[in-house]
Amino acid sequence: MSDQNPKNLLRKITAWIAGLIVVSFCIAVIWGSWTRTFLVEARTFGAILALRGDTNTWELENAVLCEAKAPDPTAKPNEYCPSVIFTVSESGPRILDWPPGAVVSVRLRPDNSLQVEAISGAAPVLDDGDRLVIPSETWMRHGVLAVNGAIIFGGNIASGARDYLLSGHWEARQESLASSLFRPTMETVKQGKLSRGASIEIWRSGWLWGQRGKAVQATVFGHITPSFNQDEPGLIISVLSEAARLELHLAYYGLENPAVIRPDMLDTIMTSPVILAAAAILGVLVLALDLGNGLQGGSQTSSPKLSVIKRLRLRPPKR
- Let me know: does 41 contact 60? Beta carbons within 8 Å: no
Burial 254-263 (b: 16+ CB within 10 A, else e): eeeebeebbb
Residue 25: the pLDDT is: 61
Residue 251: the pLDDT is: 94
Query: pLDDT-derived band of residue 64, with 50, 70 and 90 as boundaries?
Result: very high
Residue 268 to residue 131: CA distance in whole angstroms: 45
- Let me know: does 73 contact 269? Beta carbons within 8 Å: no
Percent of the chain, pLDDT > 70?
67
Q: What pTM value is reported for the model?
A: 0.75
Flag whether pLDDT at 31 surpasses 60: no
What tens digit of pLDDT does each residue of 155-208 get? 988 888 889 999 999 999 887 655 555 556 677 888 999 999 999 999 998 665
- Tell me what the mean pLDDT of segment 66-84 comes to: 82
Query: pLDDT-derived band of residue 70, with 50, 70 and 90 as boundaries?
Result: confident
The vertex-62 CA angle with 228 and 131, nearest 5°, equals 95
Find the helix or strand (DSSP H, E) in which 5 lies.
helix 4-27
Flag whether pLDDT at 268 surpasses 80: no
- Tell me what the mean pLDDT of segment 254-281 comes to: 73
- Let me know: does 93 contact 61? Beta carbons within 8 Å: yes
Percent of the chain, pLDDT > 90?
46
Residue 85: the pLDDT is: 87
Flag whether pLDDT at 286 surpasses 50: yes
Residue 38: the pLDDT is: 96
Flag whether pLDDT at 32 surpasses 90: no
Pick the closest to residue 154 from 232, 45, 247 (CA basis): 45
Flag whether pLDDT at 1 surpasses 50: no
Query: pLDDT-derived band of residue 84, with 50, 70 and 90 as boundaries?
Result: confident
Residue 271 to residue 267: CA distance in whole angstroms: 6
Residue 272 to residue 179: CA distance in whole angstroms: 7
State the chain's mean pLDDT as an integer: 81
* Neighbour tally for 287: CB within 10 Å: 10
What count of Cα atoms within 13 Å lies in the side-chain half-sphere of residue 170? 23
